[in-house]
Structure 1
Amino acid sequence: MLTVAIIGTGAISSSHIEGYLRFKDRCRIAALCDLYPEKAQAKKEQYGLDAKVVTDYKELLRDGIDLVSVCMPPYYHAPVTVDCLNAGSHVLVEKPMAASLQECDEMIEAARRNGKVLSVVAQNRFRNPIMKLKNVLDSGMAGKILHAQADSFWWRGHSYYDLWWRGTWEKEGGGCTLNHAVHHVDALLWMRGRPSHVHAFMSNVAHDNAEVEDLSIAMLRYPDGGLGQLTSSVVHHGEEQQFIFQGQRARLSAPWRVTASESLPNGFPRRNEELEREIQRYCDELPDLPYEGHTGQIDNVLNAIETGAPLLIDGVSGRSTLELIMGIYKSASTGETVELPLSKDDPFYTVEGVRRSVPRFYEKSGHVDNFADSSITTGSDYEEKKSGTEA
């Protein structure tokens, strides 16, 4: 029976708590930590947990906790994760992995040195539409991928950035590209691989209480000549999100849709319905995941600890996601096309270098400590809409 501690009991911690509670025969939540103990106590009572409540995570380092979920603001991720790994705990850290590539490297090294599991939350990989799309892409049935598109469309009101740690380069580490599109960046890298070059733009068009961007657009070039595009936003009404991959033989997307074309003698297209049916049959025969979302990732982490099974998302994956995001920030800040990977002497490798280099769109002049309502609403997932159209 593994003991679990959750550090940070804001809104996202509920997804972790509910995930762990699905595996009561394998783990037990032994501790909750939050700077505001009333928040941790409320979570303890809400879920009926037999867990101690502390305000300083360092009180837990000597307790022999087996697995820690780090659910704190991004600028805390690296120091807390490294301390927990050094204390002998495995760590599941929320996205984004850290505030800089240097911190990512320190976390990966701490996990290696201590022989511990380090996983970075990317729960969308553990959703049936995304997992099945990945499997269909890997089958090669669509042919070489020529163009990839990821739309990370969210909407947040002006007050969203009133929370004390949001909207600053120092504490949040960035805007929508880092904190909202991170899941789309992770999945895009997983499905398509790392681009060789990035050219990007970013702006703050609707939130004058934040230093950071609320909209960015990145153009990607891949080593095989293919192109891609990624839009990150918290100004899109409807929060419709999608992935589209245009292959030589067919188009695949989430929300799921398959369209295939073949050439007429004059070069114009006609539908290749036979290939569409073949791909659809392949997709329909793929099994569903036993668990989805955070629960699926927690199951994966528990398996890795219990049996040594491979992680689907490890520290290297988390670092790769942050590297592409930092490439976007570098290009959008300098106006240059950025070549990946970024070197350790690049300004965008360190926290200090990033803060010196990025624009501050507005000054954050006031804040609130907590919102009375901490509930989270999410945009559309990748399931097909009732109308049959894509999101």
Structure 2
Amino acid sequence: MSKIWTVAVVGCGIGRTHIFEGYSRHPDKFKVLVVCDLSEERRTAVAAEFNIPRHTASFDEVLAMPDVDIIDVCTPPGLHFEQTLAALKAGKHAVCEKPLVGSLAEVDALIQAEKTYGRTILPIFQYRYGNGVQRAKRLIDLGIAGKPYLGTVETSWWRTADYYAVPWRGKWATELGGVLVTHSIHNHDLLMYLMGDAEQVFARIATRVNDIEVEDCASASLRLKSGALASLSATLGSTRQISRLRLCFENITFESGLEPYRPGDDPWQILPANQAVQDQIDAALKGWQHVPTRFEGLFAEYAPGLETGKLPVTLADARRALELVTAIYTSAATDLPVDLPMGADSALYKSWLPTAPVSVAQCEAP
């Protein structure tokens, strides 16, 4: 019999969704023992809704609980690094919502901390799950799609002043960024998940929709390591909310549906170049087994992954997503293209928060 992992969920906003869509769908894999939130009303409501035996306002109390295997960090982004690191030091595995942390330096510190403390961090990239994206992934991995040509990713969502009435939102120190880190990061991860890593980025950002510190509009032009090109656009000012990916390969063009928060789900269009390619597609997808969507699909693979070490999403994946964020912010600050990968010598390696201007000289190659 496989182990049932015991969980403490810290933060009952998106944390409730983790419980509802993830843990509660897999009672043979997880048991939530405690919820932690500063709001007594919110944590008692979530505990009652899901029959969770304990609740507390104290994160330190959670760290000290000997019967907790996993701490799920669903707090505001500015707390993620210190709380995830504290979980590892306490001997717990850690699930952490996006953005994982606020810099490449912090994610590299967590990569080292995993080795030091012998515990695992499980980043959240739930959009990878669903029949649509997973069918595309299979065809790409089998080589049926062929050479990647061009990808476009649109994250066109709608956020108003009411959304930013929550005190930590819209501020660099607490949200760590805007549309790039809180909204479009999942869709941009999907691009690289399916088409491969970025090699160069040129980007612009702007704050045009709301009276906030962070950006709410962004566009970027990418060259991928494969030689393929990609364009990204993200806004929080679209009165019709959509997420859309269109990926053109040598033999197949993939088009996602438009559902903003479930882009991995069907319907995805799989458009072959000819009948011979269609025959290959039919053979590859014959007997397809349903892939649960979002957190249900992700958490289903996290449980066995903790035992085997073969995780569906790793810190390397989280670093790749944050590296793209860093490159976009760097390019926008300097009006220059930025090459990837980015290491400790990169101008915004320690932080992309705009506490000081980034000079052109910092970003030019020697």
State the TM-score, normalized to the length of structure 2.
0.88
CA–CA separation in structure 1 for the residues paired with 2:335 and 2:352: 20
SS in 1 for 2:34: strand
The reply to whether residue 155 of structure 1 matches residue 167 of structure 2 is: no
Task: Tell me how far apart the structure 1 counterparts of residues 16 and 284 of structure 2 sit (CA, whole Å).
Answer: 32
Rounded to whole Å, the distance in 1 between the matches of 2:59 and 2:97 is: 16
The alpha-carbon distance between structure 1 residues 3 and 250, as it changes in their structure 2 partners (threshold 3 A), is closer
Q: Secondary structure of 1:326's partner?
A: helix
- Determine the structure 2 residue equivalent to 1:71: 74
* Structure 1 runs, 4 residues or longer, greater than 6 Å off: none
* Displacement of 1:129: 0.9
CA distance in 2, matches of 1:203, 1:288: 43
1:215–1:233 Cα contact (<8 Å) kept? yes
SS at match of 1:3: strand
Q: Structure 1 289/322 Cα, relative in aligned 2: closer, same or farther at 3 Å? A: farther
What is the aligned partner in structure 2 of residue 329 from structure 1?
A: 329
Deviations 1:68-92 (A, max 9, x none): 1110111111100000011111111
TM-superposed CA distance for 1:37, in Å, is 2.2
Q: Which residue of 1 aligns with 2:107?
A: 104
Corresponding residue SS for 1:191: helix
Q: Does 1:227 align with 2:250?
A: no
Counterparts of 2:298 and 2:357, CA distance in 1: 35
Confirm or deny: 8 A CA contact 2:200 2:337 kept in the other structure. yes
CA distance in 2, matches of 1:245, 1:207: 31
| Shift of residue 224, structure 1, vs aligned partner | 3.4
**1:70/1:92 contact within 8 Å kept:** yes
Q: What is the deviation of 1:2?
A: 2.5
Deviation of the 1:279 alpha carbon: 5.2
Report matched runs for 1:237-386 at 5 Å: 237-255=239-257, 256-261=268-273, 272=274, 274-275=275-276, 277-278=278-279, 280-282=281-283, 284-285=285-286, 287-305=288-306, 307-351=307-351, 354-357=354-357
Q: Is the 8 A contact 2:305 2:312 kept in 1?
A: no
What does the per-residue CA deviation read over 1:97-129, in whole Å, with 9 as the maximum and x for residues that have no partner?
111111111222212222212110001112111
Aligned alpha-carbon RMSD (Å): 1.9
Q: 1:59 aligns with which of 58, 61, 67?
A: 61
Shift in Å, 1:228: 0.7
Summarize the Cα distance change of 1:357–1:166 in structure 2 as closer, same or farther, 3 Å threshold: farther
Contact 2:172 2:353 (8 Å CA) reproduced: no
Equivalent of 2:143 in 140, 145, 151 = 140
Which sits farther off after the overlay, 341-350 or 119-128? 341-350
> Conserved in 2, the CA contact under 8 Å of 1:154 and 1:234?
yes
Partner Cα separation in structure 1 for residue 11 and residue 318 of structure 2: 20
CA distance in 2, matches of 1:322, 1:147: 22
Distance 1:286 1:147, change over 3 A: farther
Q: Paired residue for 1:26? A: 29
8 Å CA contact 1:71–1:94 kept in 2: the answer is yes
* In structure 2, distance between residues paired with 1:323 and 1:94: 17
Rounded to whole Å, the distance in 1 between the matches of 2:321 and 2:244 is: 18
Q: Which residue of 2 aligns with 1:49?
A: 52
Partner secondary structure for residue 343 of structure 1: coil
Q: Secondary structure at the match of 1:217?
A: strand
Relative to structure 1, is the Cα distance of residues 77 and 27 closer, same or farther in structure 2, using a 3 angstrom cutoff?
A: same
| Deviation (angstroms), 1:225 | 2.5
Query: Could you tell me how far apart the structure 1 residues matched to 2:237 and 2:352 are?
Result: 28
User: Equivalent residue of 2:198, what SS?
Assistant: coil
Counterpart residue identity of residue 300, structure 1:
E
Shift of 1:292: 2.4
Report the count of equivalent residues.
343
Aligned to 1:361: none
Gapped runs of 5+ residues in structure 1? 262-271, 359-391
Report if aligned partners of 2:88, 2:113 keep a CA contact under 8 Å in 1. yes
- The superposition leaves residues 22-72 of structure 1 with CA deviations (integer Å, 9 ceiling, x where unpaired) of 22233321111112222111111222221x222121112121220111101
Say whether the 8 Å CA contact 1:169–1:212 is kept in structure 2. yes
Unmatched runs of 5 consecutive residues or more in structure 2: 258-267, 359-366
Q: Is contact 1:155-1:238 (8 Å) kept?
A: yes
Which of 116, 119, 122 is the aligned partner of 2:119?
A: 116
Query: Partner amino acid for 2:270?
Result: V
**Residue 192 to residue 39, structure 1, CA distance change in 2 (3 Å):** same
Structure 1 range deviating more: 148-157 or 289-298:
289-298
Partner of 2:261: none
Q: How far does the alpha carbon of each residue in 1:197-229 deviate from its partner, in whole angstroms, 9 at most, with x for none?
A: 100011112102x11111101000123322111
The separation in 2 between residues aligned to 1:133 and 1:328, in whole angstroms, is 27
- The one-letter code matched in structure 1 to 2:293 is E
Shift in alpha-carbon separation, 1:240–1:351, aligned structure 2, 3 A: same
Partner Cα separation in structure 2 for residue 172 and residue 328 of structure 1 = 17
**Letter of the structure 2 residue corresponding to residue 109 of structure 1:** Q
CA distance in structure 2 between the partners assigned to 1:146 and 1:134 by the alignment: 16
